[in-house]
């Protein structure tokens, strides 16, 4: 029996064996929790760096933040790849398929769904294909018999803690909610946000910011 804990690496750093939907869902909840907590800590560090102002301490703080971001990205990427490979093993597929899956999902989401929405005059549906693929991984049963990657994962082989189990279902709920709401995201708000972000970048580079409404600053 392998307990699944929120704050432990155990079960992540391996690509051997199989992982059923319930265990995959719990692991997804684990790294989502760690991502949220890590983002909060990094935001606090970045805010502290700003408060320090210019100088040596500010430089050190920004270096710490940058290293923490890189470390977190590597950690979460490795975790996601490991559990995805083991989930593919549960269906009898090699983990090397992820090298093809990600480009195909990107093409399907960005090109095919965009063209389909435009031709049928439907709202844009960003991330629809990849979102549905993720839901399939959460619930689709694997091979019932032993395959080349091992025996089926029994119900007692992976036992998530209550926190890991709850966060796994939170991820499922957020995935479904994002799929339902994405087509109706207001395009105007997106464009305004993009203009505001562009203005912040230009202002940081020493150029005048461009207001979102296209007017001029007073």
pLDDT interval class at 31 (50, 70, 90): confident
Contacts of 126 (CB under 8 A, 6+ apart): 109, 113, 182
Q: Is 50 exceeded by the pLDDT of residue 4?
A: no
pLDDT in tens, 107-152: 877 776 666 666 666 666 667 788 888 889 999 988 888 888 888 8
Q: Which pLDDT score is estimated for 25?
A: 87
| Structural domain harbouring 159 | 2-185
Looking at the fold, whether 47 and 32 belong to one and the same domain comes out as yes
Neighbour-count burial of 18, counting CB atoms closer than 10 A to its CB (0-12 exposed, 13-18 middle, 19+ buried) = buried
Taking the CA atoms of residue 188, residue 191, residue 192 and residue 194 in that order, the dihedral angle to the nearest 10 degrees is 160
Looking at the fold, whether 205 and 101 belong to one and the same domain comes out as no
Count of structural domains within the chain: 2
pLDDT interval class at 156 (50, 70, 90): low
pTM for the full model?
Answer: 0.69
Q: Is 70 exceeded by the pLDDT of residue 105?
A: yes
Looking at the fold, whether 97 and 160 belong to one and the same domain comes out as yes
In Å, how far are 13, 23, 132, 149, 168 from 165, measured between CA atoms?
A: 20, 9, 21, 25, 5
Percent helix, percent strand, percent coil in the chain, to nearest 5: 65, 5, 30
d(CA 199, CA 218): 15
Q: Which pLDDT score is estimated for 38?
A: 86
How many other β-carbons are positioned within 10 Å of the β-carbon of residue 28? 25
Q: Which pLDDT score is estimated for 112?
A: 66
Average pLDDT over residues 194-213: 53
Closest CA to 18 of 142, 102, 137: 142
Q: Which pLDDT score is estimated for 117?
A: 64
Looking at the fold, whether 123 and 146 belong to one and the same domain comes out as yes
Q: Which pLDDT score is estimated for 12?
A: 59
Looking at the fold, whether 100 and 195 belong to one and the same domain comes out as no
Looking at the fold, whether 165 and 193 belong to one and the same domain comes out as no
Query: What average pLDDT does the structure give for the chain?
Result: 75
Looking at the fold, whether 174 and 194 belong to one and the same domain comes out as no
Looking at the fold, whether 181 and 218 belong to one and the same domain comes out as no
């Amino acid at each position: 029996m392998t307990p699944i804990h929120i704050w432990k690496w155990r079960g992540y750093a391996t690509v051997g064996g199989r992982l059923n939907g319930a265990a995959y869902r719990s692991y997804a909840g684990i790294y989502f929790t760690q991502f949220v907590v890590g983002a909060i800590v990094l935001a606090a560090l970045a805010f502290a760096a700003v408060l320090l102002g210019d100088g040596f301490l500010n430089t050190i703080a920004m270096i710490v933040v940058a290293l923490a971001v890189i470390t977190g990205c590597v950690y979460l990427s490795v975790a996601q790849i490991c559990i995805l490979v083991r989930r593919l093993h549960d269906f009898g597929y090699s983990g090397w398929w992820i090298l093809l899956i990600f480009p195909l999902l990107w093409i399907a989401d960005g090109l095919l769904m965009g063209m389909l929405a435009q031709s049928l005059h439907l709202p844009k549906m960003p991330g629809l294909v990849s979102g549905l693929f993720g839901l399939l991984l959460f619930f689709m049963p694997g091979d019932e018999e032993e395959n080349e990657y091992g025996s089926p994962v029994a119900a007692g082989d992976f036992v998530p803690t209550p926190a890991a189990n709850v966060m796994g279902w939170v991820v499922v709920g957020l995935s479904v909610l994002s799929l339902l709401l994405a087509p109706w995201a207001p395009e105007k708000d997106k464009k305004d946000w993009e203009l505001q972000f562009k203005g912040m970048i230009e202002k940081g580079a020493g150029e005048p910011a461009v207001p979102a409404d296209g007017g001029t600053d007073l």
